[in-house]
């Protein structure tokens, strides 16, 4: 019963403080005039929002256990952590304390990360990609700090050891709290990072791991840790290991941040219904975090939910990590608006452009399910509210269904936040590419010495619904991935929509929204094959404010490589042009 009274007191103090501050000059919602512990908790929320420069760990859960003998006698391949399974396109983060023997400076006595296929260690079909230890030296031939198929050339460390008789006192700098990242989320990179804040070692492989599982549909890998002459106190993980998490002592909540707070709530909606999808990331003692649902939070709206206008949301949580009543509840705040309820919507003005175009280049696979973005330019949607009032809605308050890149008429569903719908029809046509003469016929010095952005071809206009095609031979210095052709999309005044390289990378106002993927694979092999490769580039004006760019590269190794950038936006359909530039390469156009 005492906790119920305490929560009521917290709500009363938070409400009174918020109401007082909103009427005071310079009032700050987060400095509630409440007991010290509330101010401290809210201050901790503010501090948690500040950018510390450290990697932000998401979804961390407590996993507390030890690996290795605490008298430092564990030899290599004697003690192992749990298995952590990492699916493709995901990331594993782990936090643990590495305890080194203060009386032994043997450079390899720290820990190794072992990366394998999705099979138990030593089981049938078990295969290792390799191992990476935390130490690093300047002589990879003599001092082996990683092995298997994980090559030294992709490794960097801020601390290079120079062991004499296998000893280096600097190895002690590797101890302490380690944050480990195994990142499979990048389309063309496999990344491992281990850091204790003072020392950081990274392994950045410029291509994805090959699948070593017998089941070709299973793209999972496993990771586990192996100490040597040290021991590990494991603390946190964002991946639940095989066998489950290990809990430790209970922990008090310190702060929380709210997610999925709606910007707008329909008039007449109850507070609990409005916040049903809200969750909170709660930080407990020792930095352990957990996401809790709305059902475990207490909500209050200031001043109330009965009138239209801006509201202050107060959320209170009063549970420990193990679900016991906390001695001191924590508070978080957010803003939202109560708005008139929409009863119906009608399209009162059609969008400016209702005919889109696409082209699927030969040799590029996986395009059957691709979609085209809906262009809202010129669209006017009028809402009818509960009291009979009508008004034009802002388009950013609406959602729009995707349009398949297939020939025909397609219905786009326009939807409000409360599910009211209207439709428009978009016609989609396939284009036929038109061969384009590019000038000059040779771009860049033929010894590949021309610097980045030093020369450009003339601009080629791409009209609405057109696909322009350019064919050339690419010659490269082969020094880096980017020493090959570069495509520039721009307007007539030379303002850029996007700069798109041949190695699945780009930039510019329209680049961030595009979907892009390449089949280059191993970069070393691809770079060699691009010196003399025959390339065809296709640029399509989709007429929805976007452009598509596709490249088919037939390498000197007899293989065909592809690259696409679909949906480069911020494009003016009436003013789309493209051209080429180079960087330590040269292009010979047909």
Residue 306, classified by CB atoms within 10 Å of its CB into exposed (0-12), middle (13-18) or buried (19+), is exposed
Dist. CA 43–CA 130, nearest whole Å: 44
Q: Is 197 exposed, middle or buried (0-12, 13-18, 19+ CB in 10 A)?
A: exposed
Residue spans per domain, the chain: 2-51+254-283+290-339, 61-237, 342-430, 433-589
Distance of CA 152 to the CA centre of its chain: 26
**What would the DSSP string read from start to end of 289-338?**
EEEEEGGGSEEEEES-SSSSEEEEEEEEEEE-TTSPEEEEEEEEEEEEEE
Alpha-carbon radius of gyration of the chain: 29
The pTM of the full predicted model, rounded to 2 decimals, is 0.60
The CATH number of the structural domain formed by 433-589 is 2.60.120
pLDDT in tens, the chain (590 residues): 434 445 555 555 555 555 444 433 333 443 333 444 444 444 444 444 333 345 678 899 989 888 999 999 999 999 999 999 999 999 999 999 999 999 999 999 999 999 999 999 989 999 999 999 999 987 655 667 898 888 888 899 999 998 988 999 999 999 999 999 999 999 889 999 999 999 999 999 999 999 999 998 999 999 999 999 999 999 999 999 998 888 778 889 999 999 999 999 999 999 999 999 999 989 888 777 778 899 999 999 999 999 999 999 999 999 998 789 999 999 999 999 999 999 999 999 999 999 999 999 999 988 999 999 999 999 999 999 988 999 999 999 999 999 999 999 999 999 998 999 999 999 999 999 999 999 999 999 999 999 999 999 999 999 999 999 999 999 999 999 999 999 999 999 999 999 999 999 999 999 989 999 999 988 899 999 999 999 999 999 999 999 999 999 999 999 999 999 999 999 999 999 999 999 999 999 98
CA dihedral 48, 54, 56, 59 (to 10 degrees): -90
Which residues fall within 8 angstroms of residue 459, CB to CB, at 6 or more apart? Answer: 490, 492, 577, 578, 579
Query: Roughly how many angstroms between the first and final C-alpha of the chain, as a whole number?
Result: 84
Cβ proximity of 511 and 498 under 8 Å: yes
Give CATH for domain 2-51+254-283+290-339. Answer: 2.60.40.10
| pLDDT value, residue 55 | 67
Packing angle between helix 2-22 and helix 36-49, nearest 10 degrees?
A: 70
Q: 435-448 burial, b for 16+ CB within 10 Å, e for fewer?
A: ebebeeeebbeeeb
Q: Which fold has domain 342-430?
A: Immunoglobulin-like (2.60.40)
By the 8 A CB rule, do 113 and 180 touch? Answer: yes
Report the pLDDT value the prediction gives residue 496, as an integer from 0 to 100: 97
Based on the number of CB atoms within 10 Å of its own CB, is 578 exposed (0-12), middle (13-18) or buried (19 or more)?
Answer: buried
Is 433-589 in the same CATH topology as 342-430? Answer: no
Alpha helices, DSSP H, located in 87-204: none
Task: Locate 411 and state its tokens.
Answer: 């219905």
């Amino acid at each position: 019963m005492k906790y119920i009274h305490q929560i009521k007191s917290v709500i009363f103090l938070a409400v009174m403080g918020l109401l007082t501050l909103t009427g005071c000059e310079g009032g700050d919602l987060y400095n509630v005039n409440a007991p010290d512990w509330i101010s401290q908790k809210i201050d901790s929320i503010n501090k948690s929002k500040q950018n510390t420069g450290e990697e932000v760990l998401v979804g961390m859960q407590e996993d507390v256990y030890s690996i290795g003998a605490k008298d430092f006698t564990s030899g290599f391949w004697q003690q192992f952590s749990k298995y952590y399974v990492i699916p493709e396109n995901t990331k594993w983060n782990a936090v643990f304390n590495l305890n080194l023997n203060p009386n032994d400076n043997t450079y390899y006595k720290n820990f190794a990360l072992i990366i394998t296929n999705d099979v138990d260690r030593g089981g049938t079909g078990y295969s290792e990609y390799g191992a990476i230890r935390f130490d690093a030296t300047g002589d990879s031939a003599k001092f082996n700090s990683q092995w298997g198929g994980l090559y030294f050339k992709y490794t960097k460390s801020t601390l290079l050891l120079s062991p004499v008789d296998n000893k280096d006192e600097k190895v002690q700098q590797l101890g302490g709290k380690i944050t480990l990242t195994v990142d499979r989320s990048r389309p063309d990179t496999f990344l491992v990072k281990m850091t204790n804040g003072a020392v950081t070692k990274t392994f950045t492989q410029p291509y994805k791991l090959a699948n070593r599982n017998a089941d070709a549909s299973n793209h999972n890998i496993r990771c586990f840790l192996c100490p040597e002459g040290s021991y590990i106190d494991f603390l946190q993980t964002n991946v639940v290991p095989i066998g489950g998490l290990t809990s430790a002592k209970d922990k008090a909540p310190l702060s929380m941040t709210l997610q999925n707070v709606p910007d707008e709530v329909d008039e007449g909606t109850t507070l609990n219904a409005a916040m049903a999808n809200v969750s909170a990331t709660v930080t407990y003692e020792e930095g352990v975090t957990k996401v809790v649902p709305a059902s475990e939070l207490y909500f209050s709206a200031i001043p109330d939910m009965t009138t239209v206008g801006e509201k202050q949301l107060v959320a209170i949580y009063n549970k420990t990590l193990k679900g016991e009543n906390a001695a001191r509840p924590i508070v978080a705040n957010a803003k939202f608006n109560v708005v008139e309820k929409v009863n119906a919507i009608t399209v009162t003005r059609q969008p400016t452009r209702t005919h889109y175009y696409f082209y699927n280049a030969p040799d590029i696979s996986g395009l059957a399910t691709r979609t085209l973005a809906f262009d809202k330019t010129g669209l006017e949607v009028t809402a009818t509210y509960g009291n009979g009032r009508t008004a034009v809605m802002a388009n950013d308050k609406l959602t729009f269904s995707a349009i398949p890149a297939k020939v025909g008429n397609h219905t786009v569903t326009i939807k409000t936040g409360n599910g009211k719908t209207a439709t428009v029809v978009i016609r989609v046509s396939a284009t036929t590419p038109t061969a384009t003469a590019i000038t000059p016929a040779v771009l860049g010095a033929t010894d590949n010495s021309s610097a980045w952005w030093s020369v450009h071809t003339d601009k080629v206009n791409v009209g609405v619904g057109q696909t322009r095609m350019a064919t050339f031979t690419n010659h490269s210095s082969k020094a880096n991935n980017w020493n090959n052709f570069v495509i520039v999309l721009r307007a007539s005044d030379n303002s850029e929509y996007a700069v798109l390289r041949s190695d699945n990378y780009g930039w510019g106002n329209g680049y961030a929204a595009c979907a892009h993927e390449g089949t280059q694979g191993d970069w070393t092999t691809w770079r060699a094959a691009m010196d003399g490769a025959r390339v065809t580039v296709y640029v399509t004006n989709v007429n929805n404010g976007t452009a598509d760019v596709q490249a088919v590269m037939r390498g000197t190794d007899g293989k065909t490589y592809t690259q696409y950038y679909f949906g480069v936006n911020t494009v003016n359909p009436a003013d789309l042009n493209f051209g080429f530039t180079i960087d330590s390469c040269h292009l010979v156009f047909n």
